[in-house]
């Protein structure tokens, strides 16, 4: 395609006679503050900048009471889970770690309730549990059934129906809720662990209450709406194993799944698309390889399989290494999502997908395209963007060559990017237009609506005529700017009393809604 100065996905033409303003939006983060955040990424592995609104609850039970088998590796899981939390941006003062005797059933309930009470609606939450899981016969409103639970230190269970309710509530009160259960619910297979001192199965079922069908995935607890804007994509659930498998504890080291997850987050996972962010699915794939290798040849045990349900594309951390964009163009097709899965990997496009998957799904943004495909050299882009919530609208584009990010809106000709709740905005406006300029392929467009303004110049976007562009290697910076707001880490923004003021709450909010669409260009 013909860009202002270089080949690109769309030719951007503008009418000089109807300039709205030469200004740009108010900045969202001072450059020195962003640079300080970037400097934290210089350590090895994957590291997310700390956020005052990130919280972690770590619960580990190894020293069970009575006849319940003890788990000698679990004490080591506390340190591993703490490091996982830190690499996901949770500051040390926001990490609550509870162990053993503190985790009676009432203690577990109180810990979850205390966590929920801290949330202001703009939070990232990490919940970790390591200990026994159980699957047992119960009588409840549904009749007699096999119920799954996390086993408290005294043998009582925090059952699936209660976990389901609590996770639903958390996912509605937080931008992202990441849950990691390193436990199994497989009573029938637990006896195998007695034959070897190397591993112990993390399973306990009271005598006489065993179910016929063992399972160690809290299947009931992840029943999420897939309707856009419902909040369903705000939850990521990581389980140590699939149904009918045993998750394992290693004395002196901890849970195999926890060990593997930490090693991958600490640097062994692969940012497969070069997007600058590491997703839950990319960490899962790495962790599975490590579990497979560790259990290869182990007598009496086959590898258990880490599973991710909910939003597997959620970005959990960021690469510390530079991002280099591949140069393979994307082939044209009709699905926006297919561009990242069926076409050759392309860093800038994958970055847009990362931003989309990291959106706050309690918000709803929709984009309707006009004519598609666009004929190169004659047809112009036509979009209608609607937001259920008010905010600041940004339109990012990656063209078919994948070499650059374009900030199409706001721009120097059209700088008022505020959008009212329920309002629709047609872009481009009368003062500018976007004409298909080739080469043939797909252009990806991401509409973002934020509570507080962003300044993409801090992510390396620089003026190009009335618009702004940045090379694909700025992928990580684009994500960091999108996910931050000016002063979000200030004392005011961590004060629950101050956040009761709606003006302050919006000023501090890092929340954004997003919609991703594609437009094809043809000769």
Q: Which two tokens stand for residue 339?
A: 């561009």
Cα Rg, the chain, nearest whole Å: 25
pLDDT for the residue numbered 212: 46
Q: What is the CATH number of domain 48-318?
A: 3.40.50.1460
Residues 6+ apart with CB under 8 A from 205: 134, 135, 136, 187, 190, 211
Short-list 340, 368, 367, CA closest to 354: 340
Residues 6+ apart with CB under 8 A from 39: none
pLDDT in tens, 111-145: 999 999 999 888 999 999 999 988 776 666 666 66
294 neighbors 266 (Cβ within 8 angstroms) = no
Q: What letter does residue 343 receive in the DSSP assignment?
A: S
pLDDT for the residue numbered 337: 39
19 versus 463: the higher-pLDDT residue is: 463
Q: What letter does residue 203 receive in the DSSP assignment?
A: B
| Percent of the chain surpassing pLDDT 70 | 75
> Of how many residues is the chain composed?
523
Residue for token pair 């934290």: 40
> DSSP for 422-486?
T-EEEES-TTEEEEE---SEEEEEEEEEESS---GGGGT-EEETTEEEEEGGGHHHHHHHHT--T
We find that the CATH architecture of domain 10-34+321-522 is: Sandwich (2.60)
164 band by pLDDT with thresholds 50, 70 and 90:
confident
192 band by pLDDT with thresholds 50, 70 and 90:
very low
The pLDDT of 72-98, averaged and rounded, is: 96
Query: Which conformational region is residue 391 in: left (phi greater than 0), alpha (psi within -120 to 50 degrees), or beta?
Result: left
Residues 6+ apart with CB under 8 A from 23: 412, 415
Centroid of chain to Cα 9 = 28
pLDDT in tens, 437-471: 888 999 999 999 999 999 888 888 888 888 899 98
Q: Which two tokens stand for residue 9?
A: 């996905």
207 neighbors 69 (Cβ within 8 angstroms) = no
pLDDT for the residue numbered 331: 42
Give CA separation, 308 vs 82, 87, 181, 217, in Å: 20, 19, 11, 10
358 burial level (CB within 10 Å; 0-12, 13-18, 19+): buried
Residue for token pair 């503008």: 14
335 band by pLDDT with thresholds 50, 70 and 90:
very low
User: Which residues make up the CATH 2.60.40.2550 domain(s) of the chain?
Assistant: 10-34+321-522
User: Which residues make up the CATH 3.40.50.1460 domain(s) of the chain?
Assistant: 48-318
Short-list 111, 154, 114, CA closest to 129: 111
pLDDT in tens, 466-510: 889 998 888 999 999 998 877 667 777 777 776 777 777 787 788
């Amino acid at each position: 395609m013909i860009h202002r100065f270089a080949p690109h996905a769309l030719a951007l033409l503008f009418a000089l006679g109807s300039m709205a303003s030469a200004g740009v939006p108010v900045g969202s983060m001072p450059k020195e503050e962003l640079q300080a955040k970037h400097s934290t990424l210089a350590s090895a592995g994957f590291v997310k900048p700390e956020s005052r609104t990130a919280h972690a609850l770590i619960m580990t039970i190894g020293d069970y009471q009575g006849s319940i088998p003890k788990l000698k590796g679990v004490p080591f899981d506390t340190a591993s889970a703490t490091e996982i939390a830190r690499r996901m941006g949770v500051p040390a003062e926001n990490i609550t770690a509870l162990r053993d005797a503190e985790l009676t059933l009432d203690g577990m309930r109180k810990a979850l309730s205390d966590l929920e009470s801290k949330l202001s609606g703009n939070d990232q939450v990490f919940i970790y549990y390591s200990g026994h899981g159980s699957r047992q016969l119960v009588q409840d409103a549904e009749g007699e059934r096999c119920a799954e639970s996390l086993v408290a230190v005294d043998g009582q269970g925090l059952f699936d129906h209660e976990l389901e309710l609590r996770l639903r509530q958390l996912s509605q009160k937080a931008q992202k809720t990441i849950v990691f259960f390193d436990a199994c619910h497989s009573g029938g297979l637990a006896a195998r662990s007695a034959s070897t001192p190397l591993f112990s199965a993390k399973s306990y079922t009271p005598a006489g209450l065993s179910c016929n069908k063992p399972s160690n995935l809290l299947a009931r607890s992840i029943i999420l709406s897939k309707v856009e804007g419902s909040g369903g994509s705000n939850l990521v659930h990581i389980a140590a194993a699939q149904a009918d498998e045993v998750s394992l504890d290693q004395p002196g080291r901890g849970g195999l799944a926890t060990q593997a997850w930490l090693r991958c987050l600490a640097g062994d996972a692969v940012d497969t698309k070069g997007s600058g962010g590491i997703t839950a699915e990319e960490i899962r794939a790495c962790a599975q390889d490590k579990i497979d290798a560790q259990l290869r040849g182990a007598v009496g045990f086959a590898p258990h399989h880490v599973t991710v349900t909910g939003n597997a594309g959620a970005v959990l951390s960021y690469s510390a290494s530079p991002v280099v964009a591949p140069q393979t163009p994307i082939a044209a097709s009709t699905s926006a999502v297919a561009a990242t899965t069926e076409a050759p990997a392309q860093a800038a496009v994958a970055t847009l997908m990362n931003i989309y998957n990291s959106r706050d799904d309690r918000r709803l943004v929709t984009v309707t395209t006009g004519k598609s495909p666009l004929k190169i050299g004659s047809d112009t882009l036509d979009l209608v963007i609607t937001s259920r919530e008010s905010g600041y609208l940004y339109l990012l584009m990656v063209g078919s060559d994948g070499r650059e990010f374009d900030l199409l809106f706001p721009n120097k000709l059209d700088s008022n990017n505020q959008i009212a709740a329920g309002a629709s905005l047609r872009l481009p406006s009368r003062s500018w237009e976007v004409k298909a300029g080739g080469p043939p392929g797909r252009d990806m467009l991401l509409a973002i609506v934020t509570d507080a303004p962003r300044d993409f110049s801090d992510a390396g976007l620089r003026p190009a005529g009335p618009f702004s562009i940045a090379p694909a290697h700025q992928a990580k910076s684009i994500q960091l700017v999108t996910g931050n707001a000016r002063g979000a880490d200030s004392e005011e923004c961590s004060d629950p009393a101050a956040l009761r003021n709606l003006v302050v709450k919006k000023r501090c909010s890092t929340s954004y809604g997003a919609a991703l669409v594609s437009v094809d260009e043809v000769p």
